[in-house]
Structure 1
């Protein structure tokens, strides 16, 4: 079984650790006291895992208790920086030992996209609840298998859709549900940035599964869905590539439209080619909401037909997310549409976008 390090070395990328998350069996979860903290192990001690770990310092309901890494030298650093017991760090070879650790309730898989499938299933077989970074997988088939594995094991599966816990986004959803925007008429969503290092794993199809669309375009897909409260019924997409060498294996820039049952059309775009490209604009017949920046780590900014929006930006998004997920897992609080089933819906749309591009922009029915 290959580690993230092995995989990256084979592809010519830089080597860094690959971690796995794990969580409680459903029977154990039911026995947890309502005020108990969710004890989380991070799988993959890379830059995003470090962001999550930093955010969890401010969590009230979730606590970092360990990690899985292929780089032993990181153990001392992480133990010191985040106050984690060295005994709760694992290598890939002894990952399954997490099953017997009573101090671990959940695993958070932050590996490259193509590795989500394997490690979510392995964690589920250990009887651990799982949080998996988005995109959920690199194919619809993999997403379906991940959901099935977690159901069979009786554990919960959540996808790292942090925006669903972020105050500005939650207010947009509240306004839409409350009818304050009236009938939704149009959605405009785009997100992208200029990708740097040409050797990074995100530009390797074997690891990423795709390019800008899977990495950040998925925010636009998800946003169009929560902005309308509907599921798209057709997709039409086109791709542009200005650097066929750097983006030989993955997509660079994609534009697409999604049609919804009510007649609403969402116009979306994503890119790895330039910066300052981040907006969500929702127009109804009674008002509007505009978020820009809309998806980045913050601060999010917004305005509506009522004026400037002002919400708490003192916390990192991952703090909101991890406390929120802890509430879902420990206390049975309804999740804000971040289950594996939600991840599968986005994967089906991504699949349709790629099919439309391959068919020269032909409308694909869902």
Structure 2
């Protein structure tokens, strides 16, 4: 889950909410069902796809919902929340009808709602698996915020559920849609300055002033600390610089200087990804400092983007000069791109398989750190 605002997200027992009325007669005859399915398919090709946001925390509130007012291929059609006090404001602000408002108890009824084509899961990490699987069973395409899950097994179950139900799954990796990071992919993968020789990818944010009970500091909800939240960007950056996954990793936990805050998750973690031919990517992620960089040295040149992972303000340069790209509304590009792939029934450029791959890398980093820096091979 990607959001910057602190919030108390102890998911309560879900309260009774607005119940969806089925606005039509169910057709049971096989022929009529087939014709209805084909008609729905044609309709999907011709319209903006409706997205329902599951979880109305800071990222949905401040990034996704506003972005959906500017998208061309999709729009905000519905919401799912366990906080009734938010409903009226969202309905009024975004003109959401009662029938498109759900809570976590009646969520599965979304299967009957033709306004909803895509379900975007924006919940704490530990809840991703449950709601992606429920969305898949509702026969809706799914976008899941990063990280995909809190363990490899859940990520695998999510992917299998989507495949079994014939729906698409994409991960909320917005940086694959913005120009600075896309240029990094070209520079590394196309060997514009020759073969990559080394990579540096760091992403940290000082959270030491945050209240200690926010969900990111709760391992049961977050699955871990800064590695799961911020470090995943650095992992992604190294991998898409190379265009292939690493083969091994060594990692160590950093010093804990705020034990009253960081007693459940790591305060910081350092790791080194090893790629084929011995190429290394050195990385750090911390909740006690500020870092935001993706850079590489190649045979005949170098490049650096900093900040590389922030929503805005990106700056980049190479050994030949500055990267001259605009800063864009990344969530708009991301959701438009994902909606377009769903509409065409094509695999997203950030598919569930990519999320599963990254979960394997994250878990290998933790395994190495737990073992005091032991080299851990990564099997994809």
TM-score using structure 2 length: 0.87
> How far is 1:332 from its partner?
4.2
The aligned counterpart of 2:107 is 95
> How far is 1:206 from its partner?
1.0
> How far is 1:96 from its partner?
1.0
> How far is 1:76 from its partner?
1.6
Structure 1, unaligned stretches of length 5 or more? 16-25
1:195-219 residue CA offsets vs partner (Å, 9 max, x unmatched): 1221100000111110000000000
1:230 has 2:244 as partner? yes
The aligned counterpart of 1:39 is 50
The aligned counterpart of 1:256 is 271
Map residues 188-203 of structure 1 onto 2, 5 A cutoff: 188-195=200-207, 196-203=210-217
* 8 A Cα contact 2:10 2:215, kept in partner: no
> How far is 1:36 from its partner?
2.3
Seen in structure 2, the aligned counterparts of structure 1 residues 30 and 287 have a Cα distance that, compared at 3 Å, is farther
Moved more, 160-169 or 299-308: 299-308
The aligned counterpart of 1:122 is 134
Distance in structure 2 (CA, Å) of the matches to 1:307 and 1:119: 45
Distance in structure 1 (CA, Å) of the matches to 2:298 and 2:125: 35
The aligned counterpart of 1:243 is 258
Distance in structure 1 (CA, Å) of the matches to 2:235 and 2:200: 10
1:361 has 2:373 as partner? yes
1:171-224 residue CA offsets vs partner (Å, 9 max, x unmatched): 221233333121011110000111122110000011111000000000011110
Structure 2, unaligned stretches of length 5 or more? 1-6, 15-36
> How far is 1:334 from its partner?
5.4
Seen in structure 2, the aligned counterparts of structure 1 residues 154 and 255 have a Cα distance that, compared at 3 Å, is same
Distance in structure 2 (CA, Å) of the matches to 1:31 and 1:174: 36
* 8 A Cα contact 1:35 1:61, kept in partner: no
Map residues 153-172 of structure 1 onto 2, 5 A cutoff: 153-172=165-184
The aligned counterpart of 2:344 is 331
Distance in structure 1 (CA, Å) of the matches to 2:279 and 2:40: 41
Q: How many residues align?
A: 349
SS at match of 2:193: coil
> How far is 1:236 from its partner?
0.3
* 8 A Cα contact 1:75 1:86, kept in partner: no
1:68-120 residue CA offsets vs partner (Å, 9 max, x unmatched): 01112212211222232233111111111100001110000000000001111
1:215 maps to which of 211, 229, 233: 229
> How far is 1:56 from its partner?
1.4
1:119-172 residue CA offsets vs partner (Å, 9 max, x unmatched): 111111111111000000000011011111111111111110011011111122
SS at match of 1:7: coil
The aligned counterpart of 1:274 is 289
The aligned counterpart of 1:321 is 334
Seen in structure 2, the aligned counterparts of structure 1 residues 199 and 166 have a Cα distance that, compared at 3 Å, is same
Larger Cα Rg: Structure 1 or Structure 2? 2
Distance in structure 2 (CA, Å) of the matches to 1:36 and 1:173: 32
1:56 has 2:59 as partner? no
* 8 A Cα contact 2:8 2:213, kept in partner: no
2:163 maps to which of 151, 175, 185: 151
1:293 has 2:293 as partner? no
> How far is 1:34 from its partner?
4.1
1:245-297 residue CA offsets vs partner (Å, 9 max, x unmatched): 2111111100000100132100000000112x110002211222211000011
* 8 A Cα contact 1:5 1:70, kept in partner: no
